[in-house]
Amino acid sequence: MEDENNHYSPKYRRTHQGTMPLSPLGATSRPPLPQNYLNHAENTTDQTDSGSYTQIPQRKRNMSGPGSSTRSFIILGLIFLTSVMALGLVYLNFPKLDETEKEKIKLPRDIEDAKNLGQVLSRYKDQYFYQVLFGYFLIYIFLQSFAIPGSIFLSIICGFLYPFPLALFLVCLCSAMGASFCYLLSYLVGKRLVNKYIPDRVTQWQTHVERHKDHLLNYIIFLRITPFLPNWFINITSPVLNVPLTPFFLGTFLGVAPPSFVAIQAGTTLHTLTSSGDALTWSSIIILGLLAVLALLPVLLKNTLKRRFD
């Protein structure tokens, strides 16, 4: 016979179901959570994403603010001062000059300055070959990096000082390196400013560059050969338009060769030049035009074949 007082008997459970717990340990179940774990996890994720979403644009706004522009200009100024100090060290390590020669050691602004500088350097280039070469190298890159006029006169002087193959290689290398440094400086400072003031036009230009990304090397070579756009303008705008640095460097190295050929050739007769325009003749202009067409010829042929087979 069942014991009615036995807590474990079914009869006792039926009688006292509302007053005693069914668990032998006396544990009671807690009320259900207002949301299950999955909903809680989703809500937590949404809150995190929402929080990060509001923080990232704030960070971007801070990057394009006046403080960021000021910091960029400070960095640019420090780079400029460092470059000037490097030029000063080169000048201090240069051979001892007399007072007349010191007056001629300056950045050339016209063909007369180029003649005077070339005459002074020619006296020391044999005995102090590497000092003169390194000084020329730094000055050329300095002018190109900060878009300072005068590199055309240095190209003419190079043809006056060195054999033609060395002069051509040196001018092409200095031009490519200086333009690349100007590219990087523009990427550091100019890109933010341009995107801030004319974002719609920049987007349009970037789309155009992206459309011709397979032919950027040919276009850069063409622009370097022809006088349609100044070199400083190409250097400054290329990073803004997302032109990669590799085709920019190679296109500059190859593209400046024909104009440098003309300038270096003129440097062999530096003492007879009266202006930088004397370096250009009708024959040299025709040659430059033909080379510019040859630079775009692969692009034109590729587009023609693509339209025909498509």
Distance CA 290, CA 262 (A): 14
Contact status, residue 264 vs residue 159, Cβ threshold 8 Å = yes
The amino acid that residue 176 corresponds to is: A
Sign, CA torsion 173/259/125/150:
negative
Distance CA 190, CA 239 (A): 9
Return the structure tokens found at 78. Answer: 């420090």
Q: Taking the CB of residue 178, how many other CB atoms lie within 10 A of it?
A: 25
Q: List the alpha helices (DSSP H) in the chain.
A: 10-15, 37-63, 66-92, 99-104, 111-124, 129-145, 151-161, 164-185, 191-197, 199-211, 216-225, 231-240, 245-255, 257-267, 282-309
Q: For 244, phi and psi rounded to 5 degrees?
A: -60, 150
Can you give the pTM of this predicted structure? 0.69
Distance CA 227, CA 251 (A): 15
Q: pLDDT per position in the chain (310 positions), as tens?
A: 445 555 555 555 555 555 555 444 455 555 555 555 445 444 544 444 444 444 444 444 444 455 566 777 788 889 899 989 988 888 888 888 888 888 888 888 888 888 899 999 998 888 889 889 999 999 999 999 998 988 999 999 999 999 999 999 999 999 999 999 999 998 888 777 777 777 777 787 788 788 778 888 888 998 898 878 888 888 988 998 889 999 999 999 999 998 898 888 888 877 666 655 555 566 666 766 776 776 666 666 666 655 666 5
The amino acid that residue 190 corresponds to is: G
